[in-house]
A and B are shown apart, each in its own frame.
Chain A
Amino acid sequence: MSDGSTPLTRRSVEPVVFRVLTLAFTIFIVAYVLIPIVVTLVMSFNEAAQIRFPIKVWSLGWYGDFIASPQWTDALKNSFIIAVGTAVISTTAGILAAWAFERYDFAFKNVLYILIMMPLFMPGVVLGLGVAIAFGGLEIGGVSIYGSRGLVMVAHSLWAMPLVFMLMEATFRTIDNRVVEAANDLGAPPVRTFFEVVIPMVSTGVISSVLFAFVISLNEFVMALFLTDRDTQTLPVLMWLSLRSAGTPRLAVASVILALTVFACLSLIMLWYIRQLRKVSR
């Protein structure tokens, strides 16, 4: 041993203490993250109407109740429609803008970048309030915009679009510009090049964008709370409103359904990614 000057005890005690602390922290962090998830999952199989531990009788009763209740299934349907709309709007707008930023030089690039990213840093309360007061009284063709699903889609896009934009900008940066030039060179006009060459090259990014936008919209409830009415309210909004009155295991069922949808989306991204990997490399 060359480090004779170091006391032997300190050297041997340190790693043990270190290992114990690491283990303790690992347990803490795993428990912390999983507690609300596991509690919700367990409670959704409770038969009683009260939130109360321990659970005495297990059943799928509250799932049946959820499916049988038009109020809750309508809310779920609204959530889906709005999430799909948000995904379409924000992916289209975000991808096109990201392509413009990657491919072209133009005036005010930095200012526009900040402008597009800014809504992402705004609290949902502020965005919801702003959109609500600006479009609250507006009617088009006798139909009030306020309370419509379309308005919520656009509002949710204020968060989803910058994320898509950020993701796709980074993705576009990874593609070889020469490949795009080669397509042009072989006779493909810009639009055709974009759809036949560029988009297939970044398909994983596009799929991820669509699903992230979908998930953001599905989970969001502060803006939706400001912008929906009884007929268009989303599942998280309904959950929030019922939590304020009284919590029942039905809420746990709703939580589980929301989470399952999200994880289904995530699995889709993973599957697509694996498929692409396979396709490109053997």
Chain B
Amino acid sequence: MTGEDRAFTVARAAVIRRKRAAPWLLMLPALIIVLIFFGLPTLYMARMSFNLSEGSKLFTPGLSWANYQTVFSNEVFVGAIWTTLQLALMASAATLVIGYLFALLVWLKPAKWRLIFIGLALCPLLISEIAIIFGWWMFFPKNGLLSFALTSSGLISDKISLMYTEFAAFVGLVYLTLPFCFFILLSILDGIDKRMLEAAADLGASPLTIFREVLLPLTRNGMLVAFSQCFIFTMGTYATPSALGPDTLWTMGFLVQEQMLGRNNWPLASALSMVLVVLVAVMMVFTRALATRRATLHV
């Protein structure tokens, strides 16, 4: 290799090095945000959950499992974990059914309706959760619109209130997660050739048979993803169930907030948060594993 060649090899290496450095430079702002404002707080929270809470101080440094013991033995917290899981499960199942039908409706209807329905589905996504809560808050109580509509139409004689019931919380939660489910399933359905349905109908299959034999297998993965999306989202929300549900409806999110802002017990709030994060993570890994296994089996 001549001296000239060596010099150019060095120069070429510099170009390649610069090219290698470029993506890291581009990612720097995003990495700073994620690492400093997400990674660091998460580690901090994990550490905090082993601290102790004594007296009036926010926390005393320590290293004990006491907070986790509290979370898993105290009736209130164990109850909250079950309530959260139960509520998330029920609400997600309901969302899946309604969202599936909604997506199916939009998919099957002529294209001119499509934009209107999509606009409709965007509403819950684009309106603040607090505004939606307040909307239901005016719909369910004794002097609310529901009661007024039912009494004035003569369906019932006495005013009724569905406010502060589990049903109200449930309605509110489904409302929040409906768009996720709808859009995931619609995108899956859009990938299916509609002529397949006509072909099946031509062969004499009833709508129910077509659904069971054709649509269900094709959308199974999408349903799984949609369900887990809703489940994860519902587990984390606390405002809707606590504002619309009964006073006894304590979710994990609510207790985190309560311990943090109401009782100033940082270590316990952190421990609860950690449990919540782990549950979310488990749910994600679980659906992912299930979805890929199904994919390899069926496709």
Contact = CB atoms under 8 A, between A and B. Distances in A.
A115 interface: yes
A58 interface: no
Contact of A158 (B38, B130, B147, B239): B38
Contact of B34 (A116, A125, A251): A116
Interface stretch (B6-14, B133-141, B214-222): B133-141
A126 B273 contact: yes
Contacts of B239: 221-222, 240
Nearest to B267: A133
Contact of A129 (B23, B127, B270): B270
Interface stretch (A35-43, A66-74, A201-209, A273-281): A35-43
A6 interface: yes
B168 to A, nearest CB: 12
B135 A255 contact: yes
B269 interface: yes
Interface in B55-114: 98, 101-102, 105
Interface in B105-157: 105, 120-124, 126-139, 141, 143-145, 147-148, 152
11 contacts: A32-B98, A39-B135, A104-B23, A112-B31, A125-B256, A129-B256, A190-B22, A239-B131, A244-B243, A255-B135, A262-B127
A125 B135 contact: no
Nearest to A218: B128
A51 B138 contact: yes
B126 A112 contact: no
A48 B132 CA distance: 21
A52 interface: yes
7 shortest interchain CB distances as A-B pairs: A123-B236, A36-B135, A130-B41, A219-B128, A255-B131, A97-B30, A100-B26
A15 B45 CA distance: 58
Contacts of A6: 204
A99 to B, nearest CB: 6
Contacts of A121: 232, 280, 284
Contact of A103 (B20, B23, B148, B204): B23
A125 B276 CA distance: 10
Nearest to A266: B126
B238 interface: yes
Chain A interface SS verdict (over half)? helix
A133 B48 contact: yes
Contact of A52 (B23, B128, B143, B236): B143
Interface in A77-136: 89-90, 92-94, 96-97, 99-101, 103-104, 106, 112, 115-116, 118-119, 121-127, 129-135
A92 B123 CA distance: 27
Interface in B234-255: 235-239, 243, 253
Interface string A29-68: 1101111110110010000001111100000000000000
Contacts of A101: 23
Interface in A203-234: 215, 218-222, 225-226
A14 interface: yes
A115 B257 CA distance: 25
Contacts of B29: 89, 92-93, 96-97
A76 interface: no
Interface in B254-279: 256-257, 260-261, 266, 269-270, 273, 276-277
Nearest to A126: B273
Nearest to A112: B27
Interface in A171-199: 190
Contacts of B292: none
Contacts of A165: 30
B116 to A, nearest CB: 9
A93 B23 contact: no
A259 interface: yes
A97 B48 contact: no
Nearest to A40: B135
B27 A155 contact: no
Contacts of B39: 115
Contacts of B167: none
A172 to B, nearest CB: 12
Contacts of B207: 14, 18
Which of the listed residues B30, B126, B136 has the most CB atoms from chain A within 10 Å of its own CB?
Answer: B30
A100 B30 CA distance: 11
A101 B22 CA distance: 11
Contacts of A104: 19, 22-23, 26
